[in-house]
Protein backbone atom coordinates (compact mmCIF):
# COMPACT_ATOMS: atom_id res chain seq x y z
CA UNK A 1 0.00 0.00 0.00
CA UNK A 2 1.37 3.43 -0.99
CA UNK A 3 2.43 5.80 1.74
CA UNK A 4 -0.12 8.59 2.37
CA UNK A 5 0.64 11.93 0.80
CA UNK A 6 1.79 14.65 3.19
CA UNK A 7 -0.78 17.16 4.39
CA UNK A 8 0.48 20.73 4.17
CA UNK A 9 -0.48 23.28 6.82
CA UNK A 10 0.33 26.89 5.91
CA UNK A 11 0.62 29.51 8.66
CA UNK A 12 -0.14 33.12 7.71
CA UNK A 13 -0.02 36.22 9.89
CA UNK A 14 1.83 39.49 10.49
CA UNK A 15 5.38 39.09 9.22
CA UNK A 16 6.92 42.32 10.46
CA UNK A 17 8.56 42.59 13.89
CA UNK A 18 6.02 43.27 16.65
CA UNK A 19 5.89 44.54 20.22
CA UNK A 20 5.86 42.46 23.37
CA UNK A 21 3.61 43.20 26.33
CA UNK A 22 6.16 45.71 27.67
CA UNK A 23 6.22 47.61 24.39
CA UNK A 24 9.64 46.35 23.34
CA UNK A 25 10.33 45.50 19.68
CA UNK A 26 10.33 41.75 19.11
CA UNK A 27 12.44 40.82 16.11
CA UNK A 28 10.95 37.33 15.92
CA UNK A 29 7.55 37.85 14.26
CA UNK A 30 4.49 36.35 15.93
CA UNK A 31 3.84 34.30 12.78
CA UNK A 32 7.20 32.56 13.07
CA UNK A 33 6.39 31.68 16.67
CA UNK A 34 2.95 30.41 15.67
CA UNK A 35 4.57 28.31 12.92
CA UNK A 36 6.83 26.66 15.47
CA UNK A 37 3.84 26.04 17.72
CA UNK A 38 1.88 24.42 14.86
CA UNK A 39 4.95 22.31 14.03
CA UNK A 40 5.09 21.15 17.66
CA UNK A 41 1.37 20.31 17.57
CA UNK A 42 1.81 18.40 14.30
CA UNK A 43 4.72 16.43 15.74
CA UNK A 44 2.70 15.64 18.87
CA UNK A 45 -0.31 14.51 16.83
CA UNK A 46 1.72 12.24 14.56
CA UNK A 47 3.43 10.75 17.61
CA UNK A 48 0.12 9.94 19.30
CA UNK A 49 -1.83 9.13 16.11
CA UNK A 50 0.60 8.08 13.33
CA UNK A 51 -2.24 7.66 10.83
CA UNK A 52 -2.65 11.45 10.75
CA UNK A 53 0.79 11.96 9.20
CA UNK A 54 2.88 12.88 7.42
CA UNK A 55 2.39 16.62 7.97
CA UNK A 56 4.35 19.53 6.50
CA UNK A 57 4.10 22.95 8.22
CA UNK A 58 4.99 25.93 6.05
CA UNK A 59 5.01 29.73 6.21
CA UNK A 60 5.66 32.49 3.64
CA UNK A 61 9.14 33.76 2.98
CA UNK A 62 9.86 36.79 5.13
CA UNK A 63 10.73 39.32 2.43
CA UNK A 64 9.25 42.49 1.02
CA UNK A 65 10.15 41.94 -2.63
CA UNK A 66 7.74 42.36 -5.50
CA UNK A 67 7.37 38.57 -5.67
CA UNK A 68 5.64 38.32 -2.28
CA UNK A 69 2.11 38.06 -3.73
CA UNK A 70 3.03 35.27 -6.21
CA UNK A 71 4.91 33.62 -3.35
CA UNK A 72 1.86 33.75 -1.07
CA UNK A 73 -0.45 32.48 -3.81
CA UNK A 74 1.91 29.62 -4.65
CA UNK A 75 1.90 28.49 -1.03
CA UNK A 76 -1.87 28.97 -0.66
CA UNK A 77 -2.48 26.83 -3.75
CA UNK A 78 -0.25 24.10 -2.34
CA UNK A 79 -1.85 24.08 1.14
CA UNK A 80 -4.43 21.69 2.52
CA UNK A 81 -5.16 23.81 5.61
CA UNK A 82 -4.33 27.46 6.34
CA UNK A 83 -3.96 28.86 9.85
CA UNK A 84 -4.29 32.66 9.91
CA UNK A 85 -3.42 34.85 12.87
CA UNK A 86 -5.55 38.01 12.81
CA UNK A 87 -3.82 39.73 15.76
CA UNK A 88 -3.84 43.49 15.44
CA UNK A 89 -6.12 43.56 12.41
CA UNK A 90 -3.29 43.47 9.85
CA UNK A 91 -4.56 44.53 6.43
CA UNK A 92 -2.10 42.15 4.76
CA UNK A 93 -3.47 39.19 6.73
CA UNK A 94 -7.07 40.17 5.96
CA UNK A 95 -6.11 40.27 2.27
CA UNK A 96 -4.62 36.79 2.62
CA UNK A 97 -7.78 35.61 4.36
CA UNK A 98 -9.77 36.93 1.40
CA UNK A 99 -7.59 34.85 -0.93
CA UNK A 100 -8.17 31.75 1.20
CA UNK A 101 -11.93 32.36 1.18
CA UNK A 102 -11.98 32.94 -2.57
CA UNK A 103 -10.07 29.72 -3.26
CA UNK A 104 -12.26 27.80 -0.81
CA UNK A 105 -9.48 26.38 1.35
CA UNK A 106 -10.06 25.00 4.85
CA UNK A 107 -8.72 27.39 7.50
CA UNK A 108 -8.45 28.07 11.23
CA UNK A 109 -8.38 31.59 12.72
CA UNK A 110 -6.41 32.70 15.79
CA UNK A 111 -5.85 36.09 17.42
CA UNK A 112 -4.32 37.54 20.56
CA UNK A 113 -7.27 39.97 20.60
CA UNK A 114 -10.54 39.18 22.36
CA UNK A 115 -12.15 38.21 19.05
CA UNK A 116 -11.92 38.50 15.25
CA UNK A 117 -12.78 41.60 13.17
CA UNK A 118 -16.40 42.48 12.44
CA UNK A 119 -16.75 40.52 9.19
CA UNK A 120 -15.47 37.36 10.89
CA UNK A 121 -17.68 37.52 14.01
CA UNK A 122 -19.75 34.49 12.99
CA UNK A 123 -16.68 32.35 12.23
CA UNK A 124 -14.92 30.15 14.77
CA UNK A 125 -11.79 31.89 16.00
CA UNK A 126 -9.45 31.08 18.89
CA UNK A 127 -9.30 34.41 20.75
CA UNK A 128 -7.19 35.70 23.62
CA UNK A 129 -4.28 33.70 22.19
CA UNK A 130 -1.49 35.45 24.08
CA UNK A 131 1.16 32.79 24.70
CA UNK A 132 2.57 30.93 21.70
CA UNK A 133 5.57 28.99 22.95
CA UNK A 134 6.26 26.44 24.21
CA UNK A 135 3.40 24.02 23.53
CA UNK A 136 1.33 23.72 26.70
CA UNK A 137 -1.61 21.24 26.48
CA UNK A 138 -3.08 22.83 29.64
CA UNK A 139 -3.23 26.30 28.04
CA UNK A 140 -6.73 26.59 26.55
CA UNK A 141 -5.79 28.28 23.21
CA UNK A 142 -3.13 25.61 22.60
CA UNK A 143 -5.62 22.87 23.43
CA UNK A 144 -8.25 24.36 21.13
CA UNK A 145 -5.79 24.74 18.24
CA UNK A 146 -4.55 21.17 18.65
CA UNK A 147 -8.14 19.89 18.75
CA UNK A 148 -9.13 21.79 15.58
CA UNK A 149 -6.04 20.64 13.66
CA UNK A 150 -6.63 17.05 14.79
CA UNK A 151 -10.28 17.23 13.74
CA UNK A 152 -9.30 18.48 10.29
CA UNK A 153 -6.58 15.88 9.80
CA UNK A 154 -8.91 13.07 10.81
CA UNK A 155 -11.61 14.27 8.40
CA UNK A 156 -9.07 14.44 5.56
CA UNK A 157 -7.51 11.03 6.23
CA UNK A 158 -10.85 9.23 6.77
CA UNK A 159 -12.15 8.47 3.28
CA UNK A 160 -15.38 7.01 4.71
CA UNK A 161 -16.54 10.45 5.87
CA UNK A 162 -17.23 9.16 9.39
CA UNK A 163 -14.84 11.73 10.86
CA UNK A 164 -16.57 14.70 9.27
CA UNK A 165 -16.22 16.78 6.15
CA UNK A 166 -12.96 18.73 5.65
CA UNK A 167 -14.93 21.28 3.62
CA UNK A 168 -16.72 22.31 6.81
CA UNK A 169 -13.45 24.08 7.69
CA UNK A 170 -13.78 26.16 4.51
CA UNK A 171 -17.17 27.72 5.31
CA UNK A 172 -17.14 31.51 5.10
CA UNK A 173 -19.54 34.38 4.30
CA UNK A 174 -18.57 34.37 0.61
CA UNK A 175 -19.22 30.67 0.06
CA UNK A 176 -22.44 30.97 2.08
CA UNK A 177 -23.59 33.70 -0.32
CA UNK A 178 -22.94 31.40 -3.30
CA UNK A 179 -24.73 28.48 -1.60
CA UNK A 180 -21.57 26.65 -0.56
CA UNK A 181 -19.38 27.38 -3.60
CA UNK A 182 -16.13 29.36 -3.27
CA UNK A 183 -15.55 32.19 -5.74
CA UNK A 184 -12.88 30.32 -7.68
CA UNK A 185 -15.25 27.39 -8.25
CA UNK A 186 -18.08 29.39 -9.77
CA UNK A 187 -15.88 29.59 -12.88
CA UNK A 188 -14.25 26.49 -14.42
CA UNK A 189 -16.06 23.63 -12.60
CA UNK A 190 -19.32 25.56 -12.50
CA UNK A 191 -19.21 26.40 -16.19
CA UNK A 192 -18.52 22.79 -17.16
CA UNK A 193 -21.18 21.55 -14.73
CA UNK A 194 -23.74 23.98 -16.16
CA UNK A 195 -22.99 22.76 -19.68
CA UNK A 196 -23.20 19.10 -18.67
CA UNK A 197 -26.44 19.77 -16.80
CA UNK A 198 -28.05 21.58 -19.74
CA UNK A 199 -26.82 19.30 -22.50
CA UNK A 200 -27.06 15.92 -20.78
CA UNK A 201 -28.53 15.42 -17.29
CA UNK A 202 -31.43 17.88 -17.59
CA UNK A 203 -32.76 16.00 -20.61
CA UNK A 204 -33.52 13.10 -18.26
CA UNK A 205 -34.79 14.84 -15.12
CA UNK A 206 -36.85 17.75 -16.41
CA UNK A 207 -40.65 17.63 -16.54
CA UNK A 208 -41.50 15.62 -19.65
CA UNK A 209 -37.89 14.45 -19.96
CA UNK A 210 -36.55 10.97 -20.64
CA UNK A 211 -37.31 9.72 -17.12
CA UNK A 212 -40.89 10.98 -17.23
CA UNK A 213 -41.84 9.41 -20.54
CA UNK A 214 -43.28 5.87 -20.25
CA UNK A 215 -41.11 4.74 -23.17
CA UNK A 216 -38.52 6.43 -25.31
CA UNK A 217 -37.70 5.50 -28.87
CA UNK A 218 -34.01 4.52 -29.02
CA UNK A 219 -32.00 3.52 -32.09
CA UNK A 220 -29.12 1.11 -31.40
CA UNK A 221 -26.41 1.07 -34.05
CA UNK A 222 -24.08 -1.69 -32.81
CA UNK A 223 -26.39 -4.06 -30.96
CA UNK A 224 -26.33 -6.66 -33.75
CA UNK A 225 -23.14 -8.25 -35.15
CA UNK A 226 -23.85 -6.89 -38.65
CA UNK A 227 -24.36 -3.35 -37.24
CA UNK A 228 -27.94 -3.23 -38.52
CA UNK A 229 -29.83 -0.45 -36.77
CA UNK A 230 -32.42 -1.62 -34.26
CA UNK A 231 -35.18 0.61 -32.87
CA UNK A 232 -36.62 -0.09 -29.44
CA UNK A 233 -39.11 1.61 -27.14
CA UNK A 234 -37.32 1.64 -23.81
CA UNK A 235 -38.18 2.93 -20.37
CA UNK A 236 -35.11 4.79 -19.06
CA UNK A 237 -34.69 4.77 -15.28
CA UNK A 238 -31.09 5.65 -14.37
CA UNK A 239 -28.32 7.99 -15.55
CA UNK A 240 -24.82 7.07 -14.33
CA UNK A 241 -21.93 9.51 -14.82
CA UNK A 242 -18.52 7.91 -14.24
CA UNK A 243 -15.73 10.16 -13.04
CA UNK A 244 -12.73 10.22 -15.41
CA UNK A 245 -9.70 8.28 -14.21
CA UNK A 246 -7.05 9.48 -16.66
CA UNK A 247 -7.87 13.13 -16.21
CA UNK A 248 -4.35 14.14 -17.28
CA UNK A 249 -4.92 12.56 -20.70
CA UNK A 250 -5.62 14.68 -23.75
CA UNK A 251 -8.54 12.49 -24.85
CA UNK A 252 -11.01 10.18 -23.03
CA UNK A 253 -10.30 7.01 -25.07
CA UNK A 254 -8.21 5.45 -22.29
CA UNK A 255 -11.03 5.97 -19.80
CA UNK A 256 -13.64 4.48 -22.10
CA UNK A 257 -11.40 1.41 -22.50
CA UNK A 258 -11.05 1.16 -18.70
CA UNK A 259 -14.83 1.49 -18.37
CA UNK A 260 -15.52 -1.32 -20.82
CA UNK A 261 -12.95 -3.62 -19.21
CA UNK A 262 -14.48 -3.00 -15.79
CA UNK A 263 -17.97 -3.71 -17.12
CA UNK A 264 -16.82 -6.85 -18.92
CA UNK A 265 -15.33 -8.20 -15.69
CA UNK A 266 -18.88 -8.14 -14.29
CA UNK A 267 -20.72 -9.44 -17.34
CA UNK A 268 -21.73 -6.10 -18.89
CA UNK A 269 -20.81 -3.77 -21.69
CA UNK A 270 -22.29 -0.63 -23.17
CA UNK A 271 -23.81 -0.16 -26.57
CA UNK A 272 -24.41 3.12 -28.34
CA UNK A 273 -28.00 4.29 -28.43
CA UNK A 274 -29.58 7.39 -29.92
CA UNK A 275 -32.53 8.66 -27.89
CA UNK A 276 -35.03 10.28 -30.22
CA UNK A 277 -36.17 13.83 -29.66
CA UNK A 278 -39.29 14.08 -27.50
CA UNK A 279 -39.96 17.76 -28.15
CA UNK A 280 -38.15 21.01 -28.91
CA UNK A 281 -36.69 21.15 -25.38
CA UNK A 282 -34.46 18.20 -26.28
CA UNK A 283 -32.86 20.36 -29.00
CA UNK A 284 -31.71 17.25 -30.88
CA UNK A 285 -31.35 13.49 -30.63
CA UNK A 286 -29.03 12.38 -27.87
CA UNK A 287 -26.27 9.77 -28.32
CA UNK A 288 -25.18 7.89 -25.21
CA UNK A 289 -24.14 4.45 -23.95
CA UNK A 290 -26.72 1.98 -22.62
CA UNK A 291 -25.92 -0.85 -20.24
CA UNK A 292 -26.31 -4.39 -21.56
CA UNK A 293 -25.71 -7.92 -20.23
CA UNK A 294 -23.31 -10.11 -22.16
CA UNK A 295 -25.08 -13.34 -23.10
CA UNK A 296 -23.47 -16.83 -23.25
CA UNK A 297 -23.31 -16.63 -27.06
CA UNK A 298 -21.57 -13.23 -26.87
CA UNK A 299 -24.62 -11.19 -27.86
CA UNK A 300 -25.89 -8.32 -25.76
CA UNK A 301 -29.22 -7.96 -23.98
CA UNK A 302 -30.17 -4.38 -23.07
CA UNK A 303 -30.85 -3.97 -19.34
CA UNK A 304 -34.46 -2.88 -18.82
CA UNK A 305 -35.48 -0.40 -17.56
CA UNK A 306 -32.63 1.37 -19.31
CA UNK A 307 -29.44 2.41 -17.53
CA UNK A 308 -27.41 5.12 -19.27
CA UNK A 309 -23.63 5.04 -18.66
CA UNK A 310 -21.61 8.14 -19.51
CA UNK A 311 -18.18 9.65 -18.88
CA UNK A 312 -18.48 13.48 -18.81
CA UNK A 313 -15.90 14.21 -21.49
CA UNK A 314 -16.34 17.93 -20.86
CA UNK A 315 -14.21 17.44 -17.71
CA UNK A 316 -11.06 16.91 -19.78
CA UNK A 317 -11.11 20.66 -20.38
CA UNK A 318 -10.16 21.17 -16.71
CA UNK A 319 -6.52 20.66 -17.62
CA UNK A 320 -6.68 24.02 -19.41
CA UNK A 321 -7.98 25.86 -16.35
CA UNK A 322 -5.68 28.77 -15.41
CA UNK A 323 -5.36 27.34 -11.89
CA UNK A 324 -3.95 24.11 -13.33
CA UNK A 325 -1.78 25.74 -15.98
CA UNK A 326 -0.28 28.00 -13.32
CA UNK A 327 1.07 24.93 -11.50
CA UNK A 328 3.40 24.22 -14.42
CA UNK A 329 5.08 27.58 -13.92
CA UNK A 330 6.11 26.62 -10.40
CA UNK A 331 7.11 29.05 -7.65
CA UNK A 332 9.00 32.12 -8.77
CA UNK A 333 12.72 31.35 -8.68
CA UNK A 334 12.26 27.93 -7.07
CA UNK A 335 11.81 25.07 -9.54
CA UNK A 336 10.02 22.05 -8.13
CA UNK A 337 10.49 18.40 -8.92
CA UNK A 338 8.22 16.55 -11.33
CA UNK A 339 6.73 14.44 -8.53
CA UNK A 340 5.71 17.53 -6.54
CA UNK A 341 4.15 19.20 -9.57
CA UNK A 342 2.29 16.00 -10.47
CA UNK A 343 0.91 15.81 -6.93
CA UNK A 344 -0.27 19.42 -7.13
CA UNK A 345 -1.93 18.84 -10.51
CA UNK A 346 -3.73 15.73 -9.31
CA UNK A 347 -4.88 17.41 -6.14
CA UNK A 348 -6.16 20.40 -8.11
CA UNK A 349 -8.00 18.09 -10.52
CA UNK A 350 -9.39 16.18 -7.56
CA UNK A 351 -10.66 19.38 -5.97
CA UNK A 352 -12.25 20.50 -9.22
CA UNK A 353 -13.88 17.11 -9.82
CA UNK A 354 -15.28 17.25 -6.31
CA UNK A 355 -16.65 20.75 -6.96
CA UNK A 356 -18.12 19.61 -10.28
CA UNK A 357 -20.01 16.85 -8.46
CA UNK A 358 -21.17 19.26 -5.76
CA UNK A 359 -22.44 21.73 -8.35
CA UNK A 360 -24.28 18.96 -10.19
CA UNK A 361 -25.96 17.99 -6.92
CA UNK A 362 -26.81 21.67 -6.47
CA UNK A 363 -28.63 21.60 -9.83
CA UNK A 364 -30.36 18.34 -8.90
CA UNK A 365 -31.76 19.92 -5.76
CA UNK A 366 -33.47 22.61 -7.80
CA UNK A 367 -37.01 22.44 -9.17
CA UNK A 368 -36.22 20.88 -12.55
CA UNK A 369 -35.15 17.59 -10.98
CA UNK A 370 -37.73 17.15 -8.23
CA UNK A 371 -38.55 13.47 -7.90
CA UNK A 372 -35.59 12.26 -9.98
CA UNK A 373 -32.57 13.02 -7.77
CA UNK A 374 -32.03 9.35 -6.90
CA UNK A 375 -32.03 8.33 -10.54
CA UNK A 376 -28.86 10.30 -11.30
CA UNK A 377 -25.56 8.92 -9.99
CA UNK A 378 -22.03 10.35 -9.98
CA UNK A 379 -19.52 7.61 -9.17
CA UNK A 380 -15.89 6.64 -9.58
CA UNK A 381 -14.93 3.69 -11.73
CA UNK A 382 -14.17 1.70 -8.57
CA UNK A 383 -17.67 2.39 -7.22
CA UNK A 384 -19.44 1.50 -10.48
CA UNK A 385 -19.75 -2.33 -10.14
CA UNK A 386 -21.46 -2.13 -6.72
CA UNK A 387 -23.86 0.52 -8.01
CA UNK A 388 -24.75 -1.52 -11.10
CA UNK A 389 -25.39 -4.57 -8.96
CA UNK A 390 -27.96 -2.54 -7.04
CA UNK A 391 -29.55 -0.95 -10.11
CA UNK A 392 -29.81 -4.18 -12.07
CA UNK A 393 -31.30 -5.93 -9.03
CA UNK A 394 -34.03 -3.27 -9.02
CA UNK A 395 -34.88 -4.12 -12.63
174-186 pLDDT, tens digit per residue, is 777 776 777 776 6
Query: pLDDT averaged over the chain?
Result: 85
CATH number for the domain spanning 104: value is 3.40.50.2300
pTM of the model: 0.67
Rounded to the nearest 10°, the torsion over CA 89, 95, 97, 101 is 140
Is the peptide bond prior to 44 cis by the omega test (within 30 degrees of 0)? no
Q: 218 and 333: one domain?
A: yes
> Residue 1 falls within a domain, yes or no?
no
Q: Residue 122: what are its φ and ψ, rounded to 5°?
A: -95, 10
pLDDT 10s digit of each residue in the chain, 395 long?
A: 567 889 999 999 987 665 555 666 665 688 899 999 999 999 999 999 999 999 999 988 755 454 566 778 888 888 999 999 999 888 888 889 988 988 889 999 999 998 877 777 778 899 999 999 999 999 999 999 999 999 999 999 987 878 888 888 988 887 777 767 777 766 778 889 999 998 899 989 888 888 887 778 899 988 877 778 889 999 999 999 999 987 667 778 889 999 999 999 999 999 999 998 766 565 567 889 999 999 998 889 999 999 999 999 999 888 887 777 777 665 543 455 677 777 778 888 888 888 898 889 888 887 666 678 889 999 999 999 999 999 988 76
Among 181, 197, 222, the domain boundary falls at 181
**Do 221 and 157 share a structural domain?**
no
Residues 59 and 193 in one domain: no
Same domain, 227 and 325: yes
User: Is the residue at 203 inside a domain?
Assistant: yes
Query: Are 223 and 84 members of one domain?
Result: no
> What is the span of the domain harbouring residue 196?
188-394
Whether 253 and 157 share a structural domain: no
Domain count for the chain = 2
Q: Are residues 247 and 359 in the same domain?
A: yes
Q: Are 172 and 282 in a shared domain?
A: no
Q: What is the pLDDT of residues 84-103, one digit of tens each?
A: 999 988 888 888 998 898 88
**In terms of domains, do 278 and 263 share one?**
yes
Sign of CA dihedral 388, 349, 261, 299: positive
Residue 69 lies in a domain: yes
The residue among 181, 210, 236 that closes a domain is: 181
Per-residue pLDDT at 333: 39
Q: Do 269 and 128 belong together in one domain?
A: no
Amino acid sequence: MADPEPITILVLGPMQPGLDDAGNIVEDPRTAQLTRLVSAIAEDLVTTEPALGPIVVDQPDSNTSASIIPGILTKVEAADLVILDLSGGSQNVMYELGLVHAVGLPYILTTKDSGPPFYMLNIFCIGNFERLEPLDPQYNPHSLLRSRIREFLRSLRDSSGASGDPDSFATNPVTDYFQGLPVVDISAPAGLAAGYWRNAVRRFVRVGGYFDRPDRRVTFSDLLPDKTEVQRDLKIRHFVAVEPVSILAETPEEDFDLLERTLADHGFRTTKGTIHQANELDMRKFDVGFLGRIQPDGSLEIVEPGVVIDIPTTLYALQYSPRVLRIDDGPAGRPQGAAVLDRLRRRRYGNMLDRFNRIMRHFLRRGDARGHERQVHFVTLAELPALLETLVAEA
